[in-house]
Amino acid sequence: MAESEPSPSQGDFIRIEGVTKNFGTFKAVDNVSLNIGKGELFALLGGSGCGKTTLLRMLAGFETPTAGRIFIDGQDMEGVPAYDRPVNMMFQSYALFPHMTVAANVGYGLKHEDMSPARRQDRVKEMLAMVQLSHLADRKPHQLSGGQRQRVALARSLAKLPKLLLLDEPLGALDKKLREHTQFEIANIQYKLGITFVVVTHDQEEAMTLASRIAVMDRGIIRQIGAPSDIYENPNSRFVADFIGSINMVEADVVRVDGETVEVSAGQLGAHVKVLAHGWSPGERASLAFRPEKVTISRKKPAGAVNVLKGKVQDFGYFGKDSLYRIKLPTGHVLSVNAVNAERVAAEKAVATWEDEVYLTVSPASAMLFRSEA
Ligand SMILES: Nc1ncnc2c1ncn2[C@@H]1O[C@H](COP(=O)(O)OP(=O)(O)OP(=O)(O)O)[C@@H](O)[C@H]1O
Ligand SMILES: [Mg+2]
């Protein structure tokens, strides 16, 4: 499903074609090709230093690609300076003008627009209402909380109604609740204004909630591009599987292939496991992976199920909506298992507790096989 070099189509709002950025001998961005449609909320996701900000800066025109081409709205951006691009960027370390009020900060970028003062005022009001800060219009930045400041920066970058808005870690300073709230707000704003957003984040949950599509970056290259559910359910590599969400991963040997069913022997699990997969032959080495929430935990041995493992509850955390178990197998290997607490019971009455013997079941369709990577 995922591809690292999508075929360019004329309808795409942004086309990045074979873009590379070298800093001296260091390749910060390595031959990246990707297309973003009009009105998309696209996330660039990856660990620190993988090249996200550099790629964004090239879109904005603050950095020149060493090789490759960038098209925005059909126009080749080569030689087009930042201020002539239909783009606005909210920086990772956004800076508000400390001596200006919230309203003046938001209206700042509109000064150079051909706009009457009355219209400018209206636009500022509208933007402040959108980020729910109308009541703080006359405050100065130092009189705001970190989250409020961040929303002022967001309103300021939206005020010019750019065709393309680049957000670099826009929610970095917010606490979990406000982060979630603002994520919905951004998605809402995006929907209302139809602006194309590219959001950089190293927070995978944020990318999953916000974005219509995600590009997973790793050391300058794109590992996978897809809808959040694609990336999560069908990761194309061990790297992506491991990067997105939590996962149980063990080494395995393919022992038998029967149509779509691949049987592997996993020493760490002390068991053979059946996986729905294709393209494997007996004798190959693989990484066997399954996510904690795909494992069913029960105290009774499930009748007739395949891929049943027996273990003991070593550790168990109650998190309200779900519980996380650490189950120790007879081999000594420990698996993570997630169970939703659908019923209202006291923590100690949940499915299993310390030292309980339990059975774990993983359906062949929920298990994945990956080739080992360098
Ligand atoms: N001007 C520069 N000169 C030299 N190296 C640079 C320059 N800018 C960035 N780099 C290097 O390029 C790599 C990518 O940097 P970039 O800022 O794009 O990472 P990032 O993915 O945004 O990381 P973070 O999540 O930490 O913000 C890093 O190794 C960084 O040190
Ligand atoms: Mg960065």
Nearest CA to ligand 1 atom 30: 49
DSSP state of 83: G
Ligand 1 atom with the shortest distance to the CA of 24: 4
Q: Which residue among 23, 166, 218, 221 is best mutated to probe the pocket of ligand 1, counting the most ligand atoms within 8 A of its Cβ?
A: 23
What distance in angstroms lies between residue 173's CA and the mean position of ligand 1's atoms? 20
The string of pLDDT tens digits covering residues 125-152 is: 988 988 889 999 999 999 998 888 888 9
The pLDDT value given to residue 133: 92
Q: Which atom of ligand 1 is nearest to the CA of 54?
A: 18
- Ligand 1, CB cutoff 6 Å, lining residues: 23, 26, 28, 46, 48-54, 92, 202
Mutate-to-test residue for ligand 1 from 48, 54, 57, highest number of ligand atoms within 8 A of CB: 54
Tens of pLDDT, residues 150-184: 889 988 988 888 889 999 988 776 777 777 777 77
How many of the other CB atoms lie within 10 Å of CB of 192?
9
Instruction: Check residues 344 and 19 and name the one with the higher pLDDT.
Output: 19
The Å distance, Cα 52 to ligand 2 centre, comes to: 6
Enter the tokens of residue 356.
Answer: 């309980």
Q: Locate the ligand 1 atom nearest the alpha carbon of residue 47 and give its number.
A: 25
The preferred substitution site among 21, 22, 50 for testing ligand 1, maximizing ligand atoms within 8 Å of CB, is: 50
Beta bridge partners of 202: none
What is d(CA 156, CA 109) in angstroms, rounded to the nearest whole number?
7
- 291-317 pLDDT, tens digit per residue, is 999 999 988 899 888 999 999 999 888
Torsion sign, CA atoms 90, 96, 102, 108? negative
Which is more confidently placed, 162 or 36?
A: 36
Q: Kindly report the CATH number that applies to the domain delimited by 14-242.
A: 3.40.50.300
Closest residue CA from atom 29 of ligand 1 = 49
> Which numbered atom of ligand 1 lies nearest the CA of 200?
22
- pLDDT above 90 covers a percentage of the chain that reads 64
Residue 150 burial (CB count, 10 A): 24
Q: What span, in angstroms and rounded, lies between the C-alpha atoms of 140 and 105?
A: 9
The one-letter code for the residue type at 121 is Q
pLDDT of residue 320 exceeding 70, the answer is yes
Residues 6 or more apart whose CB falls under 8 angstroms from that of 218 comprise 46, 47, 50, 239, 243
CA of 56 to the centre of ligand 2 (A): 9
* Nearest protein CA to atom 28 of ligand 1, as residue: 49
The domain defined by 246-370 folds into OB fold (Dihydrolipoamide Acetyltransferase, E2P) (2.40.50)
Q: Are strands 261-266 and 271-276 parallel, antiparallel or unpaired?
A: antiparallel
**Residue partners of 249: CB distance under 8 A and separation at least 6:** 238, 241, 242, 287, 288, 289
pLDDT at 290: 97
- The angle, 0 to 180 degrees and rounded to 10, between the axes of the packed helices 176-193 and 146-159 is 10
In angstroms, the CA 86 to CA 353 distance is 57
Could you tell me the end-to-end alpha-carbon distance of the chain, in angstroms, rounded to an integer?
A: 22
Does pLDDT of 113 surpass 90?
no
> Which pLDDT score, from 0 to 100, does residue 4 have?
42
Q: What pLDDT, on the 0 to 100 scale, is given for residue 344? A: 57
Residue of 20, 22, 44, 53 best suited for mutating to test ligand 1, as the one with most atoms within 8 Å of CB: 53
pLDDT band of residue 374 (cuts 50, 70, 90) is low
Residue nearest atom 2 of ligand 1, based on CA coordinates? 23
Quote the pLDDT of residue 1. 41
Q: What is the pLDDT of residue 10?
A: 46
Report the nearest-CA residue for atom 17 of ligand 1.
53
Take atom 3 of ligand 1 and give the residue whose Cα is closest.
Answer: 23
Residue closest by Cα to atom 8 of ligand 1: 54
Closest C-alpha among 24, 46, 41, 10 to residue 32: 46
pLDDT of residue 98: 93
**Which atom of ligand 1 lies at the shortest distance from residue 46's CA?**
21
Whole-number Å distance between alpha carbons of 141 and 103 = 10
What is the rounded average pLDDT for all residues in the chain?
Answer: 89
Is the pLDDT assigned to residue 228 strictly greater than 60?
yes
Higher pLDDT, 93 or 51: 51
d(CA 244, CA 308): 25
CA angle in degrees (0–180, nearest 5) for 92-88-44: 55
Domain ranges (residues) in the chain: 14-242, 246-370
Tokens of 143: 């009189």
Phi, psi of 151 (to 5 degrees): -70, -30
9: pLDDT strictly greater than 50: no
Ligand whose nearest atom lies closest to the CA of 46: 1
pLDDT digits (tens, 9 = 90+) for 327-360: 999 999 999 999 877 655 554 445 677 778 999 9
For tokens 């027996």, the residue is 310
User: Which residue's CA lies nearest to atom 7 of ligand 1?
Assistant: 23
